Structure 1
Amino acid sequence: MAEHGIDRDGRPPLRLLHYRREASAAEPLPLLQVGRIADWLERTSAEAPQRGDHSSVLRAHRDRALLLLGVVKYA
């Protein structure tokens, strides 16, 4: 394959066809917002069994854990 331009089959190299930009990082959430979201997720997981919604309990626990892990990682 040619370094630049066209390869021997007459096609441009894949790196030119599928250019990939670096993803920019989002701004971190303020700790007050993180606390509010964590509290809301905790309330959601506490209220869901009363509705018989076990999947919401699991989802809220997972989301809260991921949220708090992200805070620890970037603290």
Structure 2
Amino acid sequence: MGLVVVISLPLILFCLLLGFGCYFFGRARGRQDVRTNPQVYGTPTPPPGTCASPPPPPPHFKPPHPDEHV
């Protein structure tokens, strides 16, 4: 027994138009977002009026032994 799948031409055209519309609308929306709200990577700055946290302590370095020659 065979199975027949019928896909109409208007459905194919509608899907293509919908795909192109979503692509171009999304591209324009993405470009607008980049212009108005750029991404900034790094640690966030504290809000104005608050004191900044103290800087982290410097890394600990072991002093060389007096008998070792560098």
Q: TM-score, normalised by structure 2?
A: 0.35
Structure with greater Cα Rg? 2
Q: Which structure has more RCO (C-alpha within 8 Å, separation ≥ 6)?
A: 1
Q: Which structure has greater helix proportion?
A: 1
